[in-house]
Amino acid sequence: MSAANLVEVFSSIQGEGPEVGTRTLFVRFGGCDLRCLWCDSPGTWQPADRVRFESAPGSGQWQEETNPVVPARLLAMAEGLGLEAHRWVSFTGGEPLLQPEAVAAAAEALAGHGPGIFLETHGLHAQALAKIIDRIDFVSMDWKLASDVRRESDPKTGRGDAFHETHQRFLDVARAAHGVSVKLVITPASEDAEIDEAIRRVAETHPTACLVLQPVTPHGPVKARPTPERMQALALRAASALQDVRVIPQTHPWLGVV
Ligand code: SF4
């Protein structure tokens, strides 16, 4: 069974997206091949030497050990956090789909204990998703906007490298999951044309998917949020094309939880 490179394992309150507020056990994978300007977890960009795991749910007390983590050890960490009491196990990152075999093995180890398996992904690796989609209950994918996101391989000139085609192929695979949401992080620099193109393609591919419009939490070089008037206008435009549109900001920063 494939071992995983993990950054951390902990129990908390889901802070964003359609399942916001639910008790969730987070398994954070190491490594990411994007560089979102507003990323609040650059510590996940590289695989980690050591994984930290919470000692008790919500305790903020951590232990550490070396990577990689085999599925049986991950299950032991999760059971130590009261696995059954959670609504979801979220595989997050970083980008979990850089390690599809490890995601599959972790899902197999953690499934059947109560919580559903929830995948949080940047939504660009459709082939990796296809390998594991039968083990995932809910796919929460981002739809990256080129105005604010760069590839690791091309951090300076990523602007103009639209992600739409790749996201649309990914969403087509994700449709096989019981639940699917697509998240657009909106900043003052996000352009109407790229947002409209994303909405059009989501409507074309999976019109019943939940679309989450998330006003950015300012971080790093992104210093401001979009105006309330802009969020209202975008929500109205999206609702003209999709059935399930929600405007949900991140809640964990002001709750003060990880
Ligand atoms: S995909 Fe996620 S982890 Fe990677 S840079 Fe963007 S926000 Fe950060």
Residue pLDDT, tens place only, 55-109 = 999 888 999 999 999 999 999 999 999 999 999 999 999 999 999 999 999 999 9
**Per-residue pLDDT at 193 exceeds 90:** yes
Percent of residues, the chain, with pLDDT higher than 90: 89
48 C-alpha to ligand 1 centroid (Å): 15
If one residue of 44, 147, 148 were mutated to test the ligand 1 pocket, choosing by the most ligand atoms within 8 A of its CB, it would be 44
Tell which phi-psi region holds residue 147, choosing left (phi > 0), alpha (psi between -120 and 50) or beta.
alpha
Which residue, judged by its Cα, is nearest atom 3 of ligand 1? 94
100 C-alpha to ligand 1 centroid (Å): 17
Residues 124-129, mean pLDDT to the nearest whole number? 98
What is the predicted pLDDT for the residue at 192?
Answer: 95
Residue 139 corresponds to which amino acid? V
34 C-alpha to ligand 1 centroid (Å): 6
What is the predicted pLDDT for the residue at 172?
Answer: 98
What is the predicted pLDDT for the residue at 7?
Answer: 98
What is the predicted pLDDT for the residue at 60?
Answer: 84
Q: CA 245, 246, 250: angle at the middle one, nearest 5?
A: 145
- The span from the CA of 221 to the CA of 198, in Å, is 24
Residue for token pair 């899902």: 107
Q: CA 200, 205, 206: angle at the middle one, nearest 5?
A: 100
**Per-residue pLDDT at 213 exceeds 60:** yes
Which residue, judged by its Cα, is nearest atom 8 of ligand 1? 39
**Per-residue pLDDT at 144 exceeds 80:** yes
Pocket of ligand 1 (CB under 6 A): 32, 34-36, 39, 41, 44, 93-95, 122
**Per-residue pLDDT at 199 exceeds 90:** yes
Considering only residues 154 and 27, tell me which one the structure prediction assigns the higher pLDDT. Answer: 27
Percent of residues, the chain, with pLDDT higher than 70: 97
What is the predicted pLDDT for the residue at 25?
Answer: 98
Residue 200 burial (CB count, 10 A): 14
39 C-alpha to ligand 1 centroid (Å): 5
**Per-residue pLDDT at 258 exceeds 90:** no
6 C-alpha to ligand 1 centroid (Å): 15
What is the predicted pLDDT for the residue at 152?
Answer: 86
- The span from the CA of 21 to the CA of 16, in Å, is 8
Sorted by sequence, the CB contacts under 8 Å of residue 11 that are 6+ apart come out as: 23, 24, 25, 26, 54, 57, 58, 81, 82, 86
Name the nearest CA neighbour of 180 among 134, 136, 231: 136
Tell me what the pLDDT averaged over the chain comes to: 95
Q: Which atom in ligand 1 lies closest to the alpha carbon of residue 94?
A: 3
- The span from the CA of 135 to the CA of 97, in Å, is 13
Q: How confident is the model at residue 226 (pLDDT cuts 50, 70, 90)?
A: very high
183 C-alpha to ligand 1 centroid (Å): 13
CB-based burial of residue 254 (10 Å sphere; 0-12 exposed, 13-18 middle, 19+ buried)? exposed
Residues 226-248, mean pLDDT to the nearest whole number? 98
68 prior amide bond cis, ω within 30: yes
94 prior amide bond cis, ω within 30: yes
- The span from the CA of 117 to the CA of 134, in Å, is 11
Q: How confident is the model at residue 158 (pLDDT cuts 50, 70, 90)?
A: low
Domain 6-255 fold: TIM Barrel (3.20.20)
Give the ranges where the chain is alpha helix by DSSP (H): 71-80, 100-110, 126-132, 164-174, 192-205, 228-239, 252-255
What is the predicted pLDDT for the residue at 161?
Answer: 64
Residues 233-249, mean pLDDT to the nearest whole number? 98
For residue 62, what are the β-bridge partners?
Answer: 54
If one residue of 34, 46, 252 were mutated to test the ligand 1 pocket, choosing by the most ligand atoms within 8 A of its CB, it would be 34
